[in-house]
DNA sequence: CTAGGGTTAG
């Protein structure tokens, strides 16, 4: 027995007869962590050591032939390490490597580091690297480390390591190779450092590695990530050899930065396409809100028998269905997923839950959710959020507590979902207690978004003073979103005083922070009848080109999504639809419905205002729905903005007059209209 | 060694 380690940490090292026991392994690996050099020096002098038989490595099968297992050599270890052992056998192997004086074997060390990195980035990886016996780690080890760090987002470490490597001199000098450049440039595109990326690109050109396929691809990708498409294109054009990766990286650059037309062009030119190329296109359409085109591309992909949709593609198309409320197509994709038997991944389940919830089928969402064997934060979060915007706050809370019972830690989005559920169901006390305790219970400090939700909760429930108090006492400066939540609360409860107060607060914000507040502000002025300010706001909005996104509604009929915009002229059946709408409005007026023009922002006369609300996109969609479906069929509509008061009361009346159940999803929640009433109880 | 994905609020 000998003692080693620093004064602070004393460890007893053992002399071994045959195998290491668990406590011995523990002590040795602790010692390696704290003082690797002392440990390795110590173990080099242990003379007798016979390598263990298979019972030391219960989870690994040791090849018996032709490797001699009585006397371990580097090859024995490297075969063991290639089986990617878990942490505890790994530490045993590590201990053995050290005791066999093999610490300076470069490829063994590389394998050990690799395994430690796989084992949740265990700190021993870095320790092995930092304490590599002189003169300096070979390039292979640098590459392994740089790659490992480049896999973690937002780490500066790859660049730091690379810079450190370049400063080595004389006998220590290490020259970067094509692997180094590939990893470093990839890490520049993972984090936000275009400047380093450009510098390293310069070095690539100088070193002549630009012609290397892998290096070139990573440069193309780097410029594509930063939307520097001319540069990406230049590198692409100069490459002597290109593969699917080169094409798809460039494609992704255009697709992710909203240049879908260029992307389409490129996509048609590609000599080879694989599932990722299709995924890039589909997610590109998704990213810029062109959901119907995302689905069209998916259908085309299914016709191409050289490729099969992968998980990413399916997640994207489910999300497109969710945005459109395309239940029929979502259902079809669910069946397809079951048929091709993609293993029920967490991502797919989450996307399915989200799709069903947003298509108004919270029952199907629950069924998917209950069928998952191990639920994670994401599936819980999408279930909770789904229940929330269905106005089922109590159920959202129930699932949230179930999640805590199953020891799944919530993230900040989960909490937002729960708060939102409280907000739509008026659960003031529950919401207050979650906000007050979230930091101490789950270690999540409330961000401004959480306060936004909470203020919305108080405001909707009518506690306007309490909401204002929160705004004044919360630890951060209120932004436009916060004021908007208060503003819409004061509008719901017709509190003119508070509205004016808020307007003066908004006026004090820096003008750059105004973005997105103009619409609500001008709507409030409109409801107060202050037309001169409304006109002013409108002018301001046009000047800043921050015109609000136009109202848009979707309805799915026979598996096809129809899109309507305000005062739409584009739909092929628009004349019929308008006639139908006029007929509907006439029938509604017989039971006492009249246009509610409170929320029209323009200074128009009453008749003009009535016209303005009459052509709202959801009215066009409902007219189309009524004329294209059998009497009694449920109608589902999705709208991209909040439903206005006039459309809300019109829909209530329609559900009564036509005896239809109508489900509308607007920007903030679901409304189910049955026999003249809405599930939101007129709070939205 | 290199390319692609979802959940929230307003």
Q: Which residues, listed in sequence order, are joined to residue A561 by a DSSP beta bridge?
A: A556
CB atoms within 10 A of CB A602: 13
Query: What is the distance in angstroms measured between the alpha-carbon CA of A585 and the sugar C1' of B1?
Result: 65
Query: What is the distance in angstroms measured between the alpha-carbon CA of A83 and the sugar C1' of B4?
Result: 29
Q: Give the residue with minimal CA–C1' separation from B1.
A: A179
A38-73 residue pLDDT tens: 555 444 333 222 233 333 333 333 333 333 334 467
Give alpha helix (H) positions in A100-156: 106-118, 124-130, 139-151
A254-263, A423-432, A511-520: the lowest-pLDDT one: A511-520
Which nucleotide is closest to A287, CA to C1'? B5
Query: What is the distance in angstroms measured between the alpha-carbon CA of A417 and the sugar C1' of B7?
Result: 9
Query: What is the distance in angstroms measured between the alpha-carbon CA of A247 and the sugar C1' of B3?
Result: 8
Which nucleotide is closest to A487, CA to C1'? B10
Highest mean pLDDT among A9-18, A38-47, A55-64, A598-607: A598-607
The average pLDDT across A311-319 equals 95
For residue A645, the model assigns a pLDDT of 76
Q: Give the residue with minimal CA–C1' separation from B2.
A: A214
* Residues, chain A: 684
Question: What is the band of A376 on the pLDDT scale with cuts at 50, 70, 90?
Answer: very high
Query: What is the distance in angstroms measured between the alpha-carbon CA of A120 and the sugar C1' of B7?
Result: 24
Query: What is the distance in angstroms measured between the alpha-carbon CA of A549 and the sugar C1' of B10?
Result: 14
Q: Give the residue with minimal CA–C1' separation from B7.
A: A382
Q: Residue A571: is its pLDDT beyond 80?
A: yes
For residue A351, the model assigns a pLDDT of 95
Which nucleotide is closest to A286, CA to C1'? B5
Bases of strand B lying below 7 A from some protein CB: 1-10
- Decide if A486 contacts A471 (C-beta within 8 A): yes
A181-195, A359-373, A564-578, A653-667: the lowest-pLDDT one: A564-578
Q: Give the residue with minimal CA–C1' separation from B6.
A: A351
A27-41, A415-429, A558-572: the lowest-pLDDT one: A27-41
**Helix (H), strand (E) at residue A174:** none
Distance CA A443, CA A425 (A): 26
Question: In A133-155, which positions are buried (b, 16+ CB within 10 angstroms) versus exposed (e)?
Answer: eeebbebbbbbbbbbbbbeeeee
Q: Residue A534: is its pLDDT beyond 90?
A: no
Q: Residue A584: is its pLDDT beyond 70?
A: yes
Query: What is the distance in angstroms measured between the alpha-carbon CA of A384 and the sugar C1' of B5?
Result: 21
A292-314 residue pLDDT tens: 999 999 999 999 989 999 999 99
Q: What percent of chain A has pLDDT over 70?
A: 79
Distance CA A647, CA A671 (A): 12
CB atoms within 10 A of CB A165: 22
Q: Give the residue with minimal CA–C1' separation from B9.
A: A449
CB atoms within 10 A of CB A302: 13
Q: Which tokens go with A17?
A: 């007869």
Q: Which tokens go with A142?
A: 């640098």
Higher pLDDT, residue A588 or A644:
A588
Which nucleotide is closest to A218, CA to C1'? B2
A320-362 residue pLDDT tens: 999 999 999 999 999 999 988 877 788 999 999 999 999 999 9
Which nucleotide is closest to A417, CA to C1'? B8
Radius of gyration of the CA atoms of chain A, in A? 32
The average pLDDT across A20-49 equals 51
Which nucleotide is closest to A642, CA to C1'? B10
Which nucleotide is closest to A213, CA to C1'? B2
Query: Does the CA dihedral A234-A237-A242-A246 come out positive or negative?
Result: positive
Query: What is the distance in angstroms measured between the alpha-carbon CA of A627 and the sugar C1' of B5?
Result: 38
Query: What is the distance in angstroms measured between the alpha-carbon CA of A170 and the sugar C1' of B9?
Result: 57
Higher pLDDT, residue A41 or A32:
A32
Segment A55-60 long-range contacts (CB within 8 Å, at least 24 positions apart): A55/A19, A56/A19, A56/A20, A56/A92, A57/A85, A57/A89, A57/A92, A57/A93, A58/A89, A59/A85, A59/A86, A59/A89, A60/A85, A60/A89
Query: What is the distance in angstroms measured between the alpha-carbon CA of A279 and the sugar C1' of B4?
Result: 5
Q: Which residues, listed in sequence order, are joined to residue A454 by a DSSP beta bridge?
A: none
For residue A53, the model assigns a pLDDT of 32
């Amino acid at each position: 027995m000998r003692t080693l380690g620093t004064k602070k940490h004393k460890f007893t090292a053992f002399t071994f007869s045959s195998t290491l026991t668990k406590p011995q392994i523990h002590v040795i690996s602790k010692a390696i962590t704290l003082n690797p050099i002392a440990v390795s020096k110590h173990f080099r002098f242990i003379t007798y050591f016979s390598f263990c038989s298979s019972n030391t490595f219960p989870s690994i099968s040791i090849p018996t032939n032709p490797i001699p297992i009585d006397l371990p050599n580097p090859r024995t270890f490297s075969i063991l390490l290639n089986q990617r052992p878990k942490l505890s056998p790994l530490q045993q192997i590590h201990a053995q490597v050290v005791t066999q004086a093999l610490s300076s074997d470069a490829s063994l060390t590389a394998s050990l580091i690799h395994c430690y990195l796989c084992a949740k980035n265990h700190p021993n990886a870095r320790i092995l690297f930092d304490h590599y016996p002189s003169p300096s780690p070979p390039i292979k080890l640098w590459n392994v480390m740089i790659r490992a760090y480049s896999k973690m987002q937002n780490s500066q470490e790859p660049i730091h390591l690379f810079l450190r490597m370049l400063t080595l001199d004389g006998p220590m000098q290490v020259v970067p190779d094509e692997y180094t450049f590939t990893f470093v440039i990839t890490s520049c595109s993972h984090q936000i450092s275009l400047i380093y990326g450009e510098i390293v690109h310069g070095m690539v050109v100088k070193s002549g590695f630009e012609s290397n396929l892998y290096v070139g691809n990573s440069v193309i990708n780097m410029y594509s990530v930063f939307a520097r498409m001319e540069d990406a294109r230049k590198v692409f054009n100069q490459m002597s050899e290109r593969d699917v990766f080169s094409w798809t990286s460039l494609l992704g650059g255009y697709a992710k930065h909203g240049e879908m037309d260029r992307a389409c062009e490129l996509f048609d030119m590609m000599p080879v396409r694989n599932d990722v190329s299709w995924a890039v296109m589909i997610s590109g359409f998704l990213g810029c809100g062109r959901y119907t085109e995302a689905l069209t591309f998916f259908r085309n992909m299914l016709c191409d028998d050289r490729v099969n949709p992968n998980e990413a593609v399916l997640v994207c198309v489910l999300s497109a269905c969710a945005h459109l409320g395309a239940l029929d197509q979502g259902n079809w994709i669910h069946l397809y997923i079951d048929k091709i038997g993609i293993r029920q991944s967490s991502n797919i389940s989450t996307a399915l839950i989200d799709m069903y919830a947003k298509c108004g089928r919270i029952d199907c969402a629950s069924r998917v959710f209950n069928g998952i064997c191990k639920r994670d934060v994401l599936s819980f979060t999408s279930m909770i959020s789904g229940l929330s915007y269905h106005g089922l706050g109590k159920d959202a809370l129930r699932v949230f507590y179930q999640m805590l019972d199953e020891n799944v830690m919530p993230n900040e989005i989960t909490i937002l979902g729960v708060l939102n559920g409280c907000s739509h169901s008026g659960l003031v006390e529950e919401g207050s207690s979650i906000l007050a305790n979230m930091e101490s219970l789950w270690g999540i400090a409330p961000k401004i978004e959480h306060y936004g939700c909470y203020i919305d909760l108080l405001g909707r429930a009518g506690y306007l003073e309490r909401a204002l108090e929160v705004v004044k006492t919360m630890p951060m400066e209120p932004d436009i979103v916060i004021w908007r939540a208060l503003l819409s609360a004061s509008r719901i409860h017709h509190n003119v005083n508070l509205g004016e107060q808020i307007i003066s607060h908004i006026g004090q914000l820096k003008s750059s922070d105004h973005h997105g507040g103009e619409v609500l502000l001008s709507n409030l002025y409109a409801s107060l009848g202050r037309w001169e300010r409304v006109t002013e706001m409108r002018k301001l909005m046009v000047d800043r080109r921050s015109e609000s996104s136009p109202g848009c509604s979707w309805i799915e009929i026979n598996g096809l999504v129809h899109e309507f915009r305000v005062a739409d002229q584009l739909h092929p059946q628009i004349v019929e639809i308008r006639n139908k709408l006029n007929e509907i409005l006439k029938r509604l007026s017989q039971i006492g419905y009249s246009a509610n023009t409170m929320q029209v922002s323009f200074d128009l006369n009453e008749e003009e205002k009535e016209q303005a609300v009459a052509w709202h996109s959801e009215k066009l969609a409902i007219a189309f729905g009524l004329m294209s479906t059998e009497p009694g069929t449920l109608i589902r509509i999705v709208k991209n903005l909040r439903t206005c008061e006039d459309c809300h009361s019109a829909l209530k009346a329609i559900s009564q007059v036509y005896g239809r159940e109508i489900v509308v999803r607007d920007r903030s929640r679901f409304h189910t209209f049955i026999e003249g009433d809405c599930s939101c109880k007129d709070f939205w």
